[in-house]
Amino acid sequence: MPEGGGAPEKITEAQPGWTQRNPYFLPDGDHFLFVAREAVGVTVPVGALYGASLSGEKPRQILERASNVQYSDGYLLYLRETVLVAQHFDPKSFKFSGDPVPVAEKLDYANARDLAAFTAAHGTLVFRHGSLQKTQPMWVDRTGKEVGRFGEPGLYSAPQASANGSLVGLVRPDPDTGKADIWVVDTSRNTMSRSTFADAASISFAFSPDAKRIAVGTVAGTASSGIWLQPTSGSGNQEKLETPKNYGAVISWSPNGRYLFLMVQNNATRADIYYIDLSGDRKLTPFIQSPANDYGAVLSPNGKWLAYGSDESGRSEVYVTAFPGPGGKWQVSNGGGGSPSWSADGKQLYYTIADKFMVVAIQNVETFQFGAPTALPLHVNEFAALGPAAPGERFPALKALTGGQAHPQEVILNWTGTLK
């Protein structure tokens, strides 16, 4: 776009099924670098670094694996695995010289965005290590009171209970690589077992209504990206499903067992809601596809109403629409909202907004008449993670333990003087 304003001009074109991100201009203001990444169907869990110019040089690959970058003092800084390295770099020819030199280890890194926490300029380097905070899985009630514990303390995220509450699934990352898998806690026996062996950069899941199977979605796992069904125990074969052409994640499995809901990213329409009819053609089918971000789809216990989050109004709100349609659509949140979940009887719809935990009473589950949102005394920020509602008006939660490895930002002055 011209400095004085005007129409934006496209300077690169992403291949189908690929994304481009983290653009970075080099000192001459003409040459730039960016990361391109295939969303699905690959085992490489990171993007590749490309270089191009505004004056007409077409994009060409510079590094097969990279992250966001910074050019400083003749070096290009980028992440290799979890190690920040520096390598001599010519910003006009896009050529490296010498070997990459380690600068810092175990940086905070968001794989889904190929984004590491560092910056450098004028001889100063600032970076942040990843934070390894152990949590205790537990049940909490609508007031935020602990009503039981399960599992052992560890590194977890995304707690999700089965329909009857007997099992709770957790995403468990490797502390060194950040690759993750699904582990399942049998809450009656308080035993934990590994369910997947994907070693994925990103993983999502949902229990079947009888909890005998789970649906799994991965990005760049050991067996490539994909969507599949498998026994919850981890034994047995995977049943492959249609995989989105772009990034997708498993969100929920309908209470009647028929539908699997997913969030799928598209370049033109951002985040969309799709479903797979497991009793029908098993095709990946768009249901809500709009210019807004639409996500978090969960079907009501009677199978008639789909709750989801969307920023169609300019901020995230919770909506309910008839499924599979046709029928009405209602905004049920007020003042923002996301992460909806239903009570077991479908008479309560929960959602969050910032630190608040909200509930909407459903006065008629057949015609979907509902009341005004009410704030509950549960505070979301008191927990590292809070899962969807489970039977008994309780919620699986992760409570951060004291003594975690929290790392502040580190600053190195004259950082090139530390290179050996």
What letter would DSSP give residue 60? E
Mean pLDDT of all residues in 111-124:
87
**Which tokens sit at 339?**
């992460």
Token pair in block for residue 340: 């909806």
**Which tens digits make up the pLDDT trace of 17-28?**
678 889 999 999
pLDDT digits (tens, 9 = 90+) for 148-162: 999 999 999 999 999
Give the mean model confidence (pLDDT) for residues 403-408: 58
Q: What is the mean pLDDT of the chain?
A: 90
Instruction: Return the closest-CA partner of residue 88 out of 71, 69, 107.
Output: 71
Q: How confident is the model at residue 289 (pLDDT cuts 50, 70, 90)?
A: very high
Inter-residue contact 336 to 354 (CB < 8 Å): yes
Name the region of 122 (left: φ>0; alpha: ψ -120 to 50; beta: rest). left
Domains 18-130+406-418 and 135-400 belong to one CATH topology: yes
The residue behind tokens 């990361």 is 35
Residue 222 contacts residue 205 (beta carbons within 8 Å): no
Give the pLDDT of residue 260.
Answer: 98
Report the DSSP pairing between strands 374-379 and 348-353: unpaired
Q: What share of the chain is helix, strand, coil (3-state, %, to 5)?
A: 0, 55, 45
Ranges assigned E (strand) in 200-343:
202-207, 213-219, 226-231, 239-241, 248-253, 259-266, 270-277, 284-288, 294-299, 305-310, 317-322, 329-331, 338-342
* pLDDT interval class at 44 (50, 70, 90): low
CATH code that applies to domain 135-400:
2.120.10.30
CA distance 58 to 11: 9
At the fourth CATH level, the homologous superfamily of domain 18-130+406-418 is TolB, C-terminal domain (2.120.10.30)
Highest mean pLDDT among 64-73, 171-180, 251-260: 251-260
User: CA dist 188 to 57, 149, 192, Å?
Assistant: 62, 11, 11
Tally the C-alpha atoms within 13 A of residue 258's C-alpha that lie toward its C-beta.
13
CA distances from residue 297 to 31, 37, 294 in whole angstroms, order as listed: 42, 26, 8
Q: What pTM value is reported for the model?
A: 0.81
Both tokens assigned to 366: 């057949």
Q: Per-residue pLDDT for 100 more than 50?
A: yes
Residue 406 reports pLDDT greater than 60: no
- Mean pLDDT over 360-376 rounds to 97
- Mean pLDDT along residues 310-318: 95
Query: Domain segments of the chain: what residues?
Result: 18-130+406-418, 135-400
Q: How far apart, in Å, do the first and last CA atoms of the chain sit?
A: 42
403 confidence band (pLDDT: 50, 70, 90) = low
